[in-house]
Amino acid sequence: MAWWKGWSEAEGRSVAGALSFDPKPDAQTLYKAMKGLGTDEQAIIDVLTKRSNMQRQQIAKSFKAQFGKDLIESLKSELSGKFEMLMVALVYPPFKYDAKELHDAMKGVGTSEGTIIEILASRTKAQIREIIKAYKEEYDSDLEEDIKSETSGYFEQILVCLLQGERDNATLYVDTALARQDAEALYAAGEKIRGTDEIQFITILCTRSATHLLKVFEEYQKLANKSIEDTIKSETHGSLEDAMLAIVKCTRSVHCYFAERLYYALKGAGTDDGTLIRVIVSRSEVDLNLIKAEFKKIAGQSLSSMILDDTSGDYKTALLNLCGSDD
């Protein structure tokens, strides 16, 4: 399944929110959990992991109205480490959260290219527009300008191209002749010549619809006798290669792409908590159940069992709540 929806929202999400919901008592529960000496982490987990993002926004509003305090700031002052990161992430509205993750990926020394690629390659045209708007509101800065100042060369060009949001997610009719033309152009830009015409790759990958690209990949395989992924791996390297492969993976199956992101965040020594938190928080109300099914195929075990082995304490409890059951 590519990245347009052929599934119901209810089927995909692992967090559905509370059915009979009133933000006022939830806000009071959170206030009590953080008041005075010590913190009732379990009470915070029970509220924030079992409400939808829309409900969390109402809780934050009620928290401010009742106690004159900002919920995110209160959580930051009472919690710490990975657990704090996760709880704070849950309170951000989705587009502001993506904007925050992009901002954090670029601030300070060095740039977290993986985060930028993940967000820009996997979001829809409409979502990218909202992220740009949220970024401007939150940081009084232009996302495109910031990306240009933090990156360079072809990698900068592919990110800027993704920011333009020219890919349309659902083109029902695909012209085979045009797809073949694009496949031939990619072949001529890579396998056929010494060196690579990166601009041709960037243009086709960033400005064609997902349905059209799937046909292009099919035609390319026939023409080159190898997959587009194999060509990208042999013709490019570094962050540019990562970005191109992410676009191809998201086009083929956004669920497989995120399952892979989660798998690499958890496998081996140490855990990439930033990626783990971001993917689980941003997909829990979209398609995490579908991602979990793909994860099992890749990892040979469930996402919950890997989280159980790799994390601990309140952080683990909260992550497992957000993941939902593995049945």
CATH number for the domain that contains residue 293: 1.10.220.10
Domain that holds residue 239: 176-252
Q: What is the pLDDT of residue 80?
A: 96
In a domain, 53, yes or no: yes
Distance from C-alpha of 112 to C-alpha of 193, rounded to nearest angstrom: 32
Q: Is 70 annotated as a binding residue?
A: no
CA atoms within 13 A on the CB side of 288: 26
Q: What is the pLDDT of residue 37?
A: 81
Same structural domain for residues 104 and 86? no
Using one digit for the tens of pLDDT, what is the confidence trace for 99-129? 999 999 998 766 799 999 999 999 999 999 9
In a domain, 169, yes or no: no
Phi-psi region at 285: left, alpha or beta (left = phi > 0; alpha = psi -120 to 50): alpha
Q: Is 270 annotated as a binding residue?
A: yes
Question: Where are the alpha helices (H) located in 92-152, listed in sequence order?
Answer: 94-106, 113-122, 125-139, 143-150
Residues 6+ apart with CB under 8 A from 190: 196, 197, 201, 231, 235
Q: How far is CA 249 from the centre of its chain?
A: 13
In a domain, 170, yes or no: no
Number of structural domains the chain divides into: 4
Same structural domain for residues 58 and 70? yes
Q: Is the pTM of this model over 0.85?
A: yes
Q: Is 153 annotated as a binding residue?
A: no
Using one digit for the tens of pLDDT, what is the confidence trace for 146-180? 999 999 999 999 999 999 987 765 556 789 999 99
pLDDT at 228 over 60: yes
In a domain, 4, yes or no: no
Using one digit for the tens of pLDDT, what is the confidence trace for 250-292? 999 999 999 999 999 999 888 999 999 999 999 999 999 999 9
pLDDT at 6 over 60: no
In a domain, 283, yes or no: yes
Q: Annotate 275-314 with b (16+ C-beta within 10 A) or e (fewer).
A: bbbbbbbbbbbbbbbbbbbbbeeebeebbbebbeebbeeb
Same structural domain for residues 158 and 122? yes
Q: Give the residue from 91, 117, 149 where a domain finishes.
A: 91
Provide the mean pLDDT of the chain: 92
pLDDT at 7 over 60: no
Q: Give the residue from 229, 252, 275 where a domain finishes.
A: 252
In a domain, 207, yes or no: yes
Using one digit for the tens of pLDDT, what is the confidence trace for 49-88? 999 999 999 999 999 999 999 999 999 999 999 999 999 9
Q: What is the pLDDT of residue 5?
A: 43
**Residue 279, both tokens:** 């993917």
Same structural domain for residues 271 and 238? no
